[in-house]
Amino acid sequence: MKIYLQFPTNTKIFDLFVENKEYILWWNSKSEKEIAWFFLKNFPWEVMNELSPQYETNFVAIRKLKKLDKDIFNKIEWIYYGSDNCEYLAPTLQEVEHVFEWFYSIKNKYNIEGGFTLVTPYVWQKMLNERIKPVLDFLNSRKVKQQIEVVFNDLWTLMYLKKACPNLKPIAWRLVNKLLKTPLIDTYWNRAHVPGELMKNKKPKEIEKIQKQIVEYQNKFYNSSEISFKPFLKFLSKHNIERATLDFMWNRDTLYKEYEVGVDLHFPYSLVFTWRLCDTSAIEQPERWNYAIDDICPRTCFRYDIFYKIKTVWYQLIQRWNAWYRVEIDIDKVNKEFLENSKNRLVFSPFI
């Protein structure tokens, strides 16, 4: 099994890994204590009143990956670069040029066969013109052996790819292929509230039977995604899209199966929701609390890590920029056939 690494747009994080390549390419030879110390020593801005759960998530996730394959970090084949939600975290042309140059220098040095994927957020007209289009034009002009890929999260980006960038290969990311991930699912997973109309003149055993049926239907729905939906597959085929993305989710046993398209399985941060309001920016500027992101972005997300403790769920909820994520680390529960399928990829984000 090969692994694909995703780096966020934050250049502090990216440059840190650039300067410490051995921690990427030879994580297999590092103990968990060494890895934990590396994160603690190099990410001090993540620590506020309490230790960020991202630290624990990182070295537990690495432990889980090494459990799947003890040599997995010797099999890094591809780099994904970019954040997938806030349009103000769309990388600039200069950032992409820097990352692209670095990747192809180590690609040649370490004989990495894979290539480069740019991750783009959903954008409005301003960022589409100022950042996305110049970056896509640059990548479209590169002459490399492996076709460069671009993750899209909105139709504007996809349409520009189709119109102006024939050399780039689109991937439908997790905002396009949706899953239901609200914390309430896990709180009431095996319970159901029977509507009043169905309870009329019913005996307790009959109501219990209806509840079981509802739970059965719920489980079927929670284990489904749009890449099983024929109209969505038709849309992908129409635009020559061969890959779509799924978040790794606990207790979705029948979700990870054979699909008509290749699947990027994203691990360990599963997106719960995203919106144009940015609560993170309100930490330093409270007046921004209920306002959508505007032309002035303070990038507070580079300095703070927000996480939530919810008593009814077992996992961590983390807020980064204008999105919420839930930590899902039990990747060893996914069936091996899915992970070893050559069409599928395991995309690991050390940090978001």
**Nearest residue to 120 (alpha-carbon basis) of 160, 95, 86, 77:** 86
Q: Are residues 270 and 196 in the same domain?
A: no
Buried residues in 60-74 as b, exposed as e (16+ CB within 10 A): bbbebbeebbeebbe
pLDDT at residue 25 above 50?
Answer: no
- Asked, for residue 51, whether it belongs to a domain, the answer is yes
Beta strands in the chain (DSSP E): 3-7, 76-81, 116-119, 149-152, 169-172, 243-247, 262-267, 269-274, 306-308, 317-320, 323-327, 345-348
Q: Are residues 86 and 11 in the same domain?
A: yes
Domain coverage including residue 208: 182-224
Confidence of residue 46 (pLDDT cuts 50, 70, 90): very low
Number of residues written out for the chain: 352
**Nearest residue to 87 (alpha-carbon basis) of 322, 320, 246:** 322
Q: Are residues 41 and 115 in the same domain?
A: yes
- Asked, for residue 304, whether it belongs to a domain, the answer is no
Q: What is the pLDDT of residues 66-105, one digit of tens each?
A: 888 887 877 777 889 998 888 888 889 998 998 888 888 7
pLDDT at residue 36 above 80?
Answer: no
Report the percentage of the chain scoring pLDDT > 90.
24
Q: Are residues 85 and 190 in the same domain?
A: no
Q: How many domains does the chain have?
A: 2
**Nearest residue to 85 (alpha-carbon basis) of 117, 121, 120, 119:** 121
Q: 151 forms bridges with which residues in the sheet?
A: 119, 171
**Nearest residue to 246 (alpha-carbon basis) of 255, 233, 236, 234:** 255
Q: Are 263 and 345 in contact (CB under 8 A)?
A: yes
Q: Are residues 164 and 79 in the same domain?
A: yes
**Non-local CB neighbours of 202 within 8 Å, separated by 6+ positions:** 210
Instruction: Give the separation between CA 104 and CA 85, rounded to whole angstroms.
Output: 26
Q: Are residues 169 and 244 in the same domain?
A: yes
Q: What is residue 26's predicted lDDT score, i.e. its pLDDT?
A: 45
pLDDT at residue 47 above 60?
Answer: no
Question: Among 30-34, 207-211, 333-337, 341-345, where is mean pLDDT lowest?
Answer: 30-34
pLDDT at residue 196 above 70?
Answer: no
Q: Are residues 214 and 137 in the same domain?
A: no
Q: What is the pTM of this model?
A: 0.84
Place of tokens 């759960």: 53
Q: What is residue 270's predicted lDDT score, i.e. its pLDDT?
A: 87
Q: Are 3 and 85 in contact (CB under 8 A)?
A: no
Identity of the highest mean pLDDT range in 32-41, 81-90, 282-291, 340-349: 340-349
Q: Are residues 79 and 192 in the same domain?
A: no
Q: What is the pLDDT of residues 249-277, one digit of tens each?
A: 877 878 888 899 999 999 998 888 887 77
Instruction: Give the separation between CA 146 and CA 90, rounded to whole angstroms.
Output: 23
Which one is predicted more confidently, 44 or 296? 296
- Asked, for residue 166, whether it belongs to a domain, the answer is yes
Q: Are residues 116 and 51 in the same domain?
A: yes
Q: Are residues 137 and 188 in the same domain?
A: no
Q: Are 266 and 347 in contact (CB under 8 A)?
A: yes
Mapping DSSP to helix (H, G, I), strand (E, B) and coil, where does residue 171 land?
A: strand
